[in-house]
């Protein structure tokens, strides 16, 4: 946009009003550290340029036993500020190690895709809950995905869609998608055309389980491949699934030992491509406290109550696991983090596009209302910038061109992939306030929001509990 807006954002970072995603280790470095213990080949993960020091820092701080059964928990919406409302004696506070950064945009869709692929949004391109296809993927020549035959549904483009459920978004620029089109596939859009970055899970060479709410459909088929997948509901169901998985691994290890089938030390050393011998890896996603934070705000009694329930269930589970002789001498570890935090928004903080600005857009703003991406109509970038400068939005938001966002490395350390550039559009709006930009007459339907770069959205906890089973 203008140098003035670029400098505004740089000043917000320098003052601490906003958190730069790369100002410390992120969830990307965390999962890369966990996955590196489990790989079929040591170099199986994609490169993470310039972030090697952050990976090594987390590896040292985690200090996980090589043979540990590790469970990665993602507690949706558990920002650092909400965690700190628990008493210091609480399980999650006692095992808190440090804050880490969410990826940007601070969105569930973005974060769990980074977790699944071990890459930044700049690479995988899933930049928020709502994305926009300006044209059918089969007509785009710059994205390295497998292209389908020309779609018969061109009348639905530009198409807004939600990548996690892999369904069209009902809020279209001119009309809603007809009811029979319940999936993107029904509109001629395949998962391979949207999800262009491979999942890291097929590269893992240990028993794995994914316990996730988004376990069905195209997103899961691409990103969450595992030896076992189960659908988890509330925290106690998730923990029961994890307990069954860990007990099954312990039983299998005991059987191997009984039959003399364990590898010798020399065999482990001579394995040409194996990484260190982690026992198993579980990935457990829980959709609280996010639901409560959205409905009531993170600084609310329902949100704190939801966190208290999570804390009690995890503490009870940890005590039971550490006293369970059936696990044998195995080490177990819980690594707990979140995809993002939250920001509370009031009706006075709702901003909207004026008609002059809307006329410059090829589609409604997408990604997240806290940091929306804008697609300009062809040859209308100058008009859009002029309309933005004249609008009330400029008082609260800075408008960055995607080239400027790339220069600032907001979406990750590397240049944007063709897919990320496609979904990012031409501009991204950034704010140091609590404001959001909603489309049209869309009402303020939630109290808690996320997607932006504020501390309450970007800082998430790293919580680690490790032990050898004391029964042995």
Region 57-86: what's the mean pLDDT?
95
Q: Please tell me the distance from the alpha carbon of residue 113 to that of residue 322, in angstroms, as a whole number.
A: 32
The token pair that represents 390 in the structure block? 């004249």
293-317 per-position pLDDT tens digit: 999 999 999 999 999 999 999 999 9
- Longest Cα–Cα distance of the chain, Å, equals 77
State the pLDDT confidence band at 430, using cuts at 50, 70 and 90.
Answer: very high
Residue 172 has what pLDDT?
53
Residue 152 has what pLDDT?
54
Listed ranges 116-130, 166-180, 204-218, 457-471; the one with the highest mean pLDDT: 116-130
CB contact burial 10-34 (16+ within 10 A = b; e otherwise): eebbeeeebbbbbebbbbbbbbbbb
Among the residue ranges 8-17, 267-276, 388-397, 458-467, the one predicted with the least confidence is 267-276
Q: Are 189 and 136 in contact (CB under 8 A)?
A: yes
Domains of the chain: 24-122+197-344+456-468 (3.40.720)
Q: Are 367 and 105 in contact (CB under 8 A)?
A: yes
Among the residue ranges 61-65, 156-160, 201-205, the one predicted with the least confidence is 156-160
Total Cβ atoms within 10 A of residue 115? 25
The token pair that represents 228 in the structure block? 């076992």
The token pair that represents 124 in the structure block? 């995988």
Is a pLDDT exceeding 50 seen at residue 274? no
Average pLDDT, the chain: 88
The token pair that represents 232 in the structure block? 């988890």
Report strand pairing: 159-162 vs 167-168: antiparallel
* Burial degree of 100 (CB within 10 A; 0-12, 13-18, 19+): buried
Residue 137 has what pLDDT?
80
Residue 327: name the closest of 238, 445, 243 by CA: 243
Is a pLDDT exceeding 70 seen at residue 149? no
Among the residue ranges 81-95, 109-123, 221-235, the one predicted with the least confidence is 221-235
Region 226-247: what's the mean pLDDT?
88
Q: Please tell me the distance from the alpha carbon of residue 401 to that of residue 390, in angstroms, as a whole number.
A: 17
Q: Are 230 and 210 in contact (CB under 8 A)?
A: yes
State the pLDDT confidence band at 89, using cuts at 50, 70 and 90.
Answer: very high
Write the CA distances from 209 to 71, 97, 204, 241, 325, integer angstroms.
Answer: 9, 25, 11, 9, 22
SS3 label, residue 100: strand
Q: Please tell me the distance from the alpha carbon of residue 209 to that of residue 195, in angstroms, as a whole number.
A: 21
Q: Please tell me the distance from the alpha carbon of residue 414 to that of residue 85, in angstroms, as a whole number.
A: 36
Region 369-376: what's the mean pLDDT?
98
């Amino acid at each position: 946009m203008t140098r003035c807006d670029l400098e505004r954002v740089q000043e917000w970072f320098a003052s601490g009003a906003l958190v730069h995603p790369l100002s410390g280790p992120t969830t990307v470095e965390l999962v890369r550290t966990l996955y590196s213990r489990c790989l079929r080949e040591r170099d199986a993960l994609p490169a993470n340029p310039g972030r090697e020091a952050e990976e090594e820092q987390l590896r040292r701080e985690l200090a996980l036993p090589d043979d540990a059964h590790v469970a990665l928990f993602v507690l949706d919406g558990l920002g650092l500020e909400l965690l700190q409302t628990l008493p210091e004696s609480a399980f999650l506070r006692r095992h808190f190690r440090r804050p880490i950064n969410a990826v940007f945009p601070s969105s569930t869709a973005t974060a769990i895709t980074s977790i699944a692929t071990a890459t930044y949004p700049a690479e995988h391109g899933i930049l928020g809950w709502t994305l926009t296809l300006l044209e059918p993927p089969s007509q785009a020549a710059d994205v390295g995905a497998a292209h389908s035959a020309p779609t018969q549904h061109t009348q639905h483009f530009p198409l807004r869609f939600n990548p996690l459920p892999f369904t069209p978004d009902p809020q279209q620029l001119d009309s809603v998608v007809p009811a029979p089109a319940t999936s993107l596939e029904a509109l001629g859009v395949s998962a391979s055309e949207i999800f262009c970055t491979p999942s890291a899970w097929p590269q893992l060479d240990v028993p794995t389980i994914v316990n996730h709410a988004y376990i069905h459909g195209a997103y899961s088929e691409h990103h969450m491949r595992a030896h076992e997948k189960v659908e988890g509901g509330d925290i106690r169901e998730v923990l029961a699934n994890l307990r069954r998985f860990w007990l099954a691994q312990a039983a299998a290890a005991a059987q191997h030992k009984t039959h003399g089938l364990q590898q010798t030390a020399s065999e482990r050393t001579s394995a040409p491509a194996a990484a260190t011998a982690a026992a198993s890896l579980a990935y457990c996603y829980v959709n609280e406290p996010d639901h409560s934070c959205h409905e009531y705000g993170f600084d609310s009694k329902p949100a704190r109550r939801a966190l208290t329930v999570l804390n009690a269930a995890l503490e009870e589970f940890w005590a039971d696991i550490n006293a369970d002789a059936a696990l044998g001498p195995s080490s177990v570890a819980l690594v707990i983090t979140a995809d993002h935090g939250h920001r509370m928004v009031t009706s006075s903080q709702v901003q909207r596009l004026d008609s002059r600005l809307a006329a410059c857009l090829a589609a409604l703003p997408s990604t997240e209302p806290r940091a929306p991406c804008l697609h300009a109509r062809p040859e209308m970038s100058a008009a859009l910038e002029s309309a933005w400068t004249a609008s009330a939005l400029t008082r609260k938001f800075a408008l960055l061109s995607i080239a400027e966002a790339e220069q600032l490395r907001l979406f990750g350390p590397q240049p944007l992939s063709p897919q990320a550039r496609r979904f990012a559009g031409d501009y991204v709006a950034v704010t140091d306030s609590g404001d959001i930009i909603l489309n049209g007459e869309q009402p303020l339907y939630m109290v808690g929001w996320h997607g932006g770069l504020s501390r309450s959205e970007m800082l998430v906890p790293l919580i680690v509990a490790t032990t050898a089973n004391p029964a042995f």
